[in-house]
């Protein structure tokens, strides 16, 4: 059998296994525009098999130890982009301190793929159905992004530009995902898949009760996730939860513009499901509060 | 081309590969390990599942060069494992296959699950195996077969 066909074979490329970040960044600079970073590889290889992208150089960052760590620092919780979905679910730090991300990780592909899928790859896929973007947005997370020359901080909410397009430059790597809270936050993540396991809508919520902050991100209904806080949701802390949820659903309904994408779901259905999931997520969030 | 070293089912193999070859190509075409099946090429069907350094991965989504220096276990390599043998017998007993194309992948994945969690049950077990497709639809029988084989993986057995 010949494997030299689109959809089956990968186009030709040269593989580099970077041992440290400096090497990875200088390779990326050297082959700027013609190189791709390999973390989990799932979405990358899918797009390469379809010849949507044909990079001549692949830089594997999985061997870089500092990109595989989960740490608690004075900036909050710092997660390396090469941490896998299974590692997120096994981490006590993520379980205790980043509940929306902990729950979202269970949806990042099936259980076998989750050994390969990385949080960095999930974010940079730029797909509307990504779990990581809304989960991290609900926790006001930022990314530390580096190229060979410079380093910058990019809010997760500014990452996705369009379908499969992000605001990362072609010579940049996400080096850290920073959740700027160290505990004191409860949260949830809900996602509805259709029969062929494509996302109809997903909702991440986070509540910082001590700071009276409520955040919600709704993904998969449109190209980019929508972000809400207590003021855009019309949340009033002294009102009953039921009334708050009613007001919030109205706010969500008048803000989101659902798309019909990929024959997964009609725009109307997506919009309705987004509200159903939002209501459910808020109820669950305040059940114990 | 570059030369990589894979330990496949306990045997060390030196093999020349292209950078764009995936582990699935190398196992089937260069090393003759045919229990690993090629079907969807997009990480969806799970029929190419192997254990790479002890973790199940889909070998169509893993570059051969990424596996350099690592240990690969396929269904063939489980033959010498008494528990896996019982697991395989359980598949036969429960009629957990029709065409058998997905069976090696299910054996590899369920062996991995039972080795680390011999008490697994219900939705957890279904979720663990949800990455593999059986187009004959023998999922109920596979579930029963794996559940029945749990006893062989418990310490006191």
Which of B38, B52, B66 to mutate to test binding with chain A, by most A CBs within 10 Å of its CB?
B66
Given A136, A158, A179, which residue is the final one in a domain? A179
In angstroms, the Cα distances linking A217 to A35, A98, A191 are 32, 14, 12
Task: From B74, B101, B118, give the residue that closes a domain.
Answer: B74
A113 touches chain B (CB under 8 A): yes
Copy the structure tokens of residue B85.
Answer: 């043998």
CB of A62 less than 8 A from some CB of B: yes
Counting DSSP H helices and E strands in chain B, the numbers are 5, 5
| Same structural domain, A122 and A192 | no
Residue A146 C-beta-side C-alpha neighbours within 13 Å = 15
CB contact under 8 A, B63 and A41: yes
The pLDDT tens digits for A157-202 are 999 999 999 999 999 999 999 999 988 899 999 999 988 888 999 9
Q: Mutate which of B4, B48, B61 to test chain A, going by most A C-beta atoms within 10 A?
A: B61
Are A106 and A89 in contact by the 8 Å Cβ rule? The answer is: yes
The model's pLDDT over A207-249, given as tens digits with 9 standing for 90+, comes to: 998 888 999 999 999 999 999 999 999 999 999 999 999 999 9
Closest Cα of chain B to A39: distance in Å?
A: 11
CA distance A58 to A35: 6
The residues with which B52 forms a beta bridge, in sequence order, are: B55, B72
Which chain B residue has its CA at the smallest distance from A114's CA? B57
d(CA B27, CA B48): 10
Question: Which residues of chain B does A45 touch, with a Cβ-Cβ cutoff of 8 Å?
Answer: 22, 43, 61
Considering the domain architecture, whether residues B21 and B64 belong to the same structural domain is answered as yes
What average pLDDT score do residues A60-76 get? 97
Same domain, B61 and B40: yes
Q: B97 and B61 share a domain?
A: no
Interchain CB distance below 8 Å, A113 and B43: yes
Q: Domain with B100 in it: what CATH number? A: 1.10.150.120
From chain B, pick out residues whose CB is under 8 angstroms from the CB of A12. 18-20
CB-based contact A8 B41, cutoff 8 Å: yes
Domain of residue B56, residue span: 2-74
Dist CA B57 CA A114 (whole Å): 9
**Domain range for residue A56?**
14-60
Asked if A166 and A69 sit in the same domain, the reply is yes
Do residue A7 and residue B41 have CB atoms under 8 angstroms apart?
yes
Domain shared by B65 and B108, yes or no: no
* CATH code (residue B52): 3.10.20.30
Mean pLDDT of the B28-37 span: 97
Q: What is the pLDDT of residue A4?
A: 65
Cross-chain CB nearest to B19 (options A3, A13, A113) = A13
* Model confidence band, residue A3 (pLDDT cutoffs 50, 70, 90): low
User: Would you call A9 and B20 a contact, using CB atoms and an 8 Å cutoff?
Assistant: yes
- pLDDT tens, position by position, A112-162: 999 999 999 999 999 989 999 999 999 999 999 999 999 999 999 999 999
Distance of CA A284 to the CA centre of its chain: 22
Same-domain pairing of B109 and B136: yes
Mean of the pLDDT values across residues B89-105? Answer: 97
Give the residue from chain B lying closest to A15, CA to CA.
B19
Confirm if A119 and A144 have CB atoms less than 8 A apart.
no
- On whether both B87 and B104 belong to a single domain, the answer is yes
Identify residues of B whose CB sits under 8 angstroms from chain A CBs: 18-22, 25, 29, 41-43, 46, 49, 55-58, 61-63, 65-66, 109, 127-132
Nearest to A42 among B43, B56, B132 (CB): B43
- B86, B109: one domain: yes
**Residues 6 or more apart whose Cβ sits within 8 Å of residue A231:** none
Among A155-159, A206-210, A257-261, B10-14, the minimum mean pLDDT is found in A257-261
- Per the CB < 8 Å rule, is A112 touching B20? no
Given this model, what pLDDT does residue A1 score? Answer: 45
* Conformation bin of residue A76: beta by default, left when phi > 0, alpha when psi is -120 to 50: left
Q: Is the pLDDT of residue A262 over 70?
A: no
- b/e for B47-69, b at 16 or more Cβ within 10 A? bbbbbbeeebbbbbbbbbbbbbe
The C-alpha of B145 sits at a distance from chain A's nearest C-alpha, in angstroms, of 19
Where does a domain end: B39, B74, B109?
A: B74
CA distance B11 to chain A (A): 24
Is residue A263's pLDDT more than 90? no
DSSP bridge partners of A203: A190, A218
Q: Is the pLDDT reported for residue A265 higher than 60?
A: yes
How much is the average pLDDT of A24-43? 96
Q: How many domains does chain B have?
A: 2
Same domain, residue pair A28 and A87: no
- Work out the average pLDDT over B72-100: 96
Q: Of the ranges A79-88, A188-197, B24-33, which one carries the lowest mean pLDDT score? A: A188-197
Residue A7 lies in a domain: no
Note whether residue A169 is domain-resident: yes
Under 8 Å between Cβ of A27 and A35 = yes
pLDDT at A289 over 90: no
Look at residue A81 and tell me whether its pLDDT is greater than 50.
yes
Record the tokens describing residue B67, joined without a space.
């596996």
Q: Do the chains contact at B130 and A60, CB–CB below 8 Å?
A: no
Q: Which of A14, A113, A115 sits opposite B19 (nearest CB)?
A: A14
């Amino acid at each position: 059998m010949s494997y030299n066909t689109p959809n089956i074979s990968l186009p030709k490329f040269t593989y580099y296994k970077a041992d440290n970040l400096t090497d990875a960044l200088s390779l990326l600079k050297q082959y700027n525009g013609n190189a791709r970073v390999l973390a989990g590889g799932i979405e990358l290889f899918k797009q390469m098999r379809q010849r949507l992208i044909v990079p001549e150089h692949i830089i594997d960052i999985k061997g870089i130890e500092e990109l595989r760590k989960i740490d608690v620092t004075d900036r909050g919780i710092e997660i390396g982009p090469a941490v896998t979905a299974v590692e997120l679910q096994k981490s006590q730090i993520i379980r205790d301190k980043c509940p929306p991300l902990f729950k979202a990780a269970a949806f990042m592909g099936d259980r076998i793929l989750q050994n390969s899928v990385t949080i960095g790859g999930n974010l940079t896929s730029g797909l509307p159905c990504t779990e990581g973007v809304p989960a991290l947005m609900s926790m006001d997370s930022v990314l530390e992004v580096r190229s060979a020359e410079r380093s910058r901080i990019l809010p997760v909410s500014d990452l996705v530009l369009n379908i499969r397009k992000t605001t990362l430059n072609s010579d940049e790597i996400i080096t850290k995902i920073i959740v700027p809270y160290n505990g004191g936050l409860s949260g949830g993540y809900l996602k509805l898949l259709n029969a062929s396991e494509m996302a109809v809508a997903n909702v991440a919520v986070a509540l910082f009760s001590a700071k009276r902050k409520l955040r919600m991100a709704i993904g998969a209904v449109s190209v980019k996730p929508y972000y809400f806080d207590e003021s855009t949701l019309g949340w009033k802390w002294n009102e009953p939860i039921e009334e708050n949820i009613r007001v919030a659903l109205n706010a969500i309904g008048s803000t989101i513009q659902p798309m019909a994408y990929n024959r997964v779901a009609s725009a109307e259905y997506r919009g309705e499901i987004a509200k159903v999931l939002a209501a459910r997520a808020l109820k669950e969030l305040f059940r114990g509060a | 081309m570059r030369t990589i070293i894979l330990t496949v089912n306990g045997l060390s193999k030196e093999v020349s590969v292209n950078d764009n070859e995936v582990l699935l190509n190398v196992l089937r075409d260069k090393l003759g390990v045919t229990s690993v099946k090629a079907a969807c090429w997009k990480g969806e069907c799970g029929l190419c599942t192997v254990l790479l350094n002890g973790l199940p991965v889909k070998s169509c989504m893993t570059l051969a060069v990424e596996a350099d220096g690592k240990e690969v276990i396929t269904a063939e390599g489980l033959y010498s494992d008494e528990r896996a043998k019982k697991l395989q017998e359980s598949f036969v007993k429960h009629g957990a296959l029709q065409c058998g194309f997905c069976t090696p992948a299910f054996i590899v994945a369920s062996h991995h699950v039972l080795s680390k969690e011999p008490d697994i049950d219900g939705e957890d077990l279904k979720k663990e195996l949800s990455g593999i497709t059986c187009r004959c639809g023998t999922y109920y029988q596979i579930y029963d077969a794996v559940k029945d084989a749990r006893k062989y993986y418990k310490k006191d057995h």
